Structure 1
Amino acid sequence: MQTHPLWRPFNPGANAARQGERVASRQTAPGAVQAHDEDWGEQFEGTRRVLTESIGDLALSISHVGSTSVPGLAAKPVIDVDLIVPDVEDEHSYMRRLDAAGFRLIFRDVMSGDPHRQLTFARPNTNLHVWSPGAIEPQRHVVFADWLRTNPTDRLRYNAAKAAASAGDGSARYNDLKAAAVYDIYERAFAADAHHAHDPHPRALVE
């Protein structure tokens, strides 16, 4: 069986499991899912400016990712940003400056085998994901967003999954409730990738 290099197994409880790695609470609550807001792009630019001013050349790349980066996609009004630094584990090089700029560290964990730091920012409400070069998750984020920008059917499917997750049991994790839809969208994106072969990995076989 051929597998795309960015494929990861279906893990419906991943978000709930990682809560044990939380080191602080966010400054601003995520809010409810809402229709796409054209202002989200400008809010990202505001966050980008704060990052550039605070850590300068340490910011190897700053990317708007997640649902707020995809026109036509509903989202919680939180800007997701991927920040690549020379070494995410060298916190002394960047964390104090981010803290001084108003960011707060809330997770210190590992995702897809790569060390990861998640910080939040109050205004605009932001999730800042910090990675080292070559990390897998930022590459997955690009694939996911690019696919949704060009596939209206999957945008509708994902919007429906978000609505269902929002209406779910309040004790459940929103991200975990939509995990199946996310996995299936990745499967279609990987199968369509002309640069890497990928045989179907349906959830029934990998759960």
Structure 2
Amino acid sequence: MPTPQQIVDFTEPPAPEGRSPFVRPQRVAPVEVVAYDERWPAIAAELDTRIREALGTRVLQLEHVGSTSVPGLPAKPVIDLDLTVADPEREEAWLPQLEAAGFELTVREPWWHGHRCLSLDSPRANLHVFGPTGPEQYKHRIFRDWLRTDAADRSRYAEVKSSAALAATEAGETIMQYNARKAAVIQEIYGRAFRAAGLLD
């Protein structure tokens, strides 16, 4: 398990020289943020079942995270899930099974908590893979649970998502650039969520 300091730390190491995290090139496409869809939890549950059937007991933890996991919050219509496995570096232990279940590896960045990301086109989903000591899964759950309970921050986040999506689309930006437009507000919300969780004074 990560330490509290690791959970609240947002420092990200740069990619090693000459290496890119992207297995599949980033796509430039309009960023679509839509109203909350009541079907999203059921879709996430179906994906949970598909992943567990593919990996069995190699699933140490699997969580629906991101905006589609927060009732009432507008979001890109893409389900985000965090998967914890024993060792992300041992891809032979989990990747072929997920590929057989329809997922495609799109990001590999072992220098950042062993992170891998796999995508699914139907239903649209991103599956983030980490090891058991990674702090990101904790961050994502804390953020999700805070937004589920705090209406003011949920509204604030909805506003920045919509404005960032519009600006990123008009500028022809990637999803990573859209995410950067939200970063300052996200960090503010995280600060309140971390304090509520007892991780910050």
Q: Match of 1:20, SS?
A: coil
State the TM-score, normalizing by the size of structure 2.
Answer: 0.85
Q: Distance in 1 between matches of 2:116 and 2:30?
A: 18
170-179 vs 136-145, greater mean Cα deviation: 170-179
In structure 1, the partner of 2:132 is 133
Q: Which amino acid aligns with 1:185?
A: I
Deviation, 1:39, is: 0.3
In structure 2, the partner of 1:179 is 183
Q: How many residues align?
A: 187
Runs of 4+ with >6 A deviation: none
Deviation, 1:34, is: 0.5
Deviation, 1:191, is: 2.2
Structure 2, unmatched stretches of 5+, are none
Q: Which amino acid aligns with 2:24?
A: A
Q: Distance in 2 between matches of 1:44 and 1:34?
A: 17
Q: Which amino acid aligns with 1:63?
A: E
- For the 8 Å contact 2:66–2:140, the answer to whether it is kept is yes
Structure 2 counterparts to residues 1-207 of structure 1, below 5 A:
4-9=5-10, 20-24=20-24, 32-110=32-110, 113-169=112-168, 170-172=171-173, 173-194=177-198, 196=199, 198-199=200-201
State the TM-score, normalizing by the size of structure 1.
Answer: 0.82
Q: Deviations over 1:119-140 (max 9, x none)?
A: 0112110100011112100000
Q: Deviations over 1:81-119 (max 9, x none)?
A: 0111111111011111111111000000147x4111100
Q: What RMSD in Å do the two structures reach over aligned CA positions? A: 2.4
Identity %: 40
Structure 1, unmatched stretches of 5+, are 200-207
